Amino acid sequence: MNIEIFNKILFFWFIFFVTPGPVWLAVMATTNQQAAKDIVKFFFTVFLSVNLIIQVPQAIVSVVFVDIITQLFSAAGYVFYFLGGAYILFMAAKSFKAGWTDSPLQLSFVNLLMIMLLSPKIWILFPSGAVIANQLNLGLMANAGIYAFIMFSVSSILFYFYVLIGKIGQKLLKDNFSYLVTFLLGIFAMFLFIQGFKLIL
């Protein structure tokens, strides 16, 4: 194995996940008032499950069909911008409602699955990392497996990092934390809509 390429893949996933997005905002809004036992339960029953069912296959498919995915997204990627933007706007409304009722956001398995499935960020950046992974020259499935495994490992570690950030945000902002999450999700959704319109105009 080329350790230099391996390190590049590791760095790619770290940069990908350290950038706050709708997934992490939703995780923070969900766990900021939860006890440690509930956070661990949420991690195993929701976050880890969606990672295994959605993002691991997305990573593998991106390596195996990198050229096809790149071409498809270039041709019809605007669909993801509109669908992803609409769903993130829906999550922003849920976050606002949670703040209004003074209760944490309830991020279900389906909610998280839809965010990951419809996120343009994933479908744009996964193929970029896949190009790096294919430089390992270990065979297509081995490259894909390593790529998916690093994604799974880094995202699992950073889950707890963002839980901690959410806890700090809750202490600093108290009842206003949900409204900050609402605002950030709304801004992200508007950005996706704008980008989608740019692609079709």
- Residue 52 has a pLDDT of 92
Confidence of residue 193 (pLDDT cuts 50, 70, 90): very high
What is the Cα 36 distance to its own chain's centre?
22
| Mean per-residue pLDDT, 22-30 | 91
User: Residue 179, Cβ neighbours under 10 Å: how many?
Assistant: 15
When comparing pLDDT for 185 and 70, which is higher? 185
- Crossing angle of helices 66-76 and 78-100, rounded to 10°: 80
Are the beta carbons of 111 and 91 closer than 8 angstroms? yes
Measured CA to CA in angstroms, residue 156 lies from 44, 71, 100, 172 at distances of: 10, 30, 30, 25
Question: Are residues 8 and 143 in contact, defined by beta-carbon separation less than 8 angstroms?
Answer: no
Residue 194 has pLDDT above 90, yes or no: yes
pLDDT at 1 over 80: no
pLDDT in tens, 61-90: 888 888 888 787 777 778 889 999 999 999
Confidence of residue 104 (pLDDT cuts 50, 70, 90): confident
The predicted pLDDT at position 119 comes to 86
Given this model, what pLDDT does residue 160 score? 94
With CA atoms as reference, report the closest residue to 112 among 68, 168, 52.
Answer: 52
**How many CB atoms sit inside 10 A of residue 107's CB?**
24
Phi, psi of 101 (to 5 degrees): -95, 5
10-19, 45-54, 61-70, 164-173: the lowest-pLDDT one:
61-70
**What is the C-alpha to C-alpha distance for residues 57 and 169, in angstroms, rounded to an integer?**
32
Rounded to two decimals, the pTM is 0.86
Judged by DSSP in three states, 102 sits in coil
Is residue 98 within 8 Å of residue 29, measured between CB atoms?
yes
| Mean residue pLDDT across the chain | 89
Predicted confidence (pLDDT) at residue 150 exceeds the cutoff of 80: yes
DSSP H or E segment with residue 71: helix 66-76
Which tokens belong to 28? 């923070």
Q: Pseudo-torsion of CA 155, 92, 62, 153, nearest 10°? A: 10
Query: How much of the chain exceeds pLDDT 70, in percent?
Result: 100
